[in-house]
Structure 1
Amino acid sequence: MINHDALMQYNILIKTSLGFEKIVATRIQELDPEAKVLPEPMNFKGLVLVKNGRFSRDELVEQIARNVVEAEKIIPIDKATIADPNVICEEIRDVVTEKIDEKKSFAVKTTRRGKHGFTSIDVNVIVGDCIRKYTGASVNLRYPDIIVYVEIKRSSSLIQIG
């Protein structure tokens, strides 16, 4: 089983239908033989983790989007840290101040897998408040300019600002 430190090296998370994880992993390996690909990380079905090889992360994301039809959602990871809302707040400061300015609106959407002492809504509120303080941006839950995705898998969190 993969541990938290090993998980931190991956920079793309793919969501797929259950049972398609190995197919997605194989197709990505065909696109980029140097990529590191892990289907069903921590035994979570429907997920594939990727660390780009030959291509840049963003180029590989584009290649996957064009060529791997089984990849239902492709999430480029901007930050990886431990699964604690307060730590996430501290760790994302640099990334959010680069990507979100005071003229933009945002929303935080969290998905959790595993057992935690907090809910997805707790993460949305705590992380959203930190982003608001760091950037001066406003929260807009209906039509945000930017969505901050927080994917929590057991003790790890993977964050995309996009």
Structure 2
Amino acid sequence: MHRSTWASAGFAALALALLAPISARGNTLQGPSQPTPLPVQPAAATEQPAPPARVRTGLVTIESDLQRADQSTGVITASGNVRIVYPDQRVVATARQAQYFSREGRVVLSGDVDIVQEGGNLLRAERVIYLVERDRLVAIPPTGQQVYSRVSLPARQRPAKP
């Protein structure tokens, strides 16, 4: 199984960079000469520790049997047992194939698509098209069937009675 992690905004750029020979990239790695000390302030005895903050990284992890990137078309294709994990949105998607069309900003998942979001949201379709810039999703059902979705709505807060 192939496994890759790409920043969602630079999905195609990273894949294309990986295809270029290292000597053509001209990259060199240099570390800092000395570590920079961070200021430390003692916590007050009565303070409760804050829950860990959720850091948004923009990273998307893609696992599949095969992954290809075509520099001439700007299309990245993952096929066979595709599993996509997007921690920032708490989403896991599975499909038979996923394609990213970098020039159009379009992601297409096809073949038994399941998208599950933490909290109970679920979408099942034969094909899902996501337009990145517009943050718009279109789900297409299998022939003769319907798209299935389950959405967990937040509970309503009723006003307190005086």
TM-score (norm 2): 0.26
TM-score (norm 1): 0.26
1 or 2, which has the higher strand percentage? Answer: 2
Determine which structure has more spread, i.e. the larger CA radius of gyration.
Answer: 2
Higher relative contact order, chain-length normalized (CA < 8 Å, sep 6+)? 1
1 or 2, which has the higher helix percentage? Answer: 1
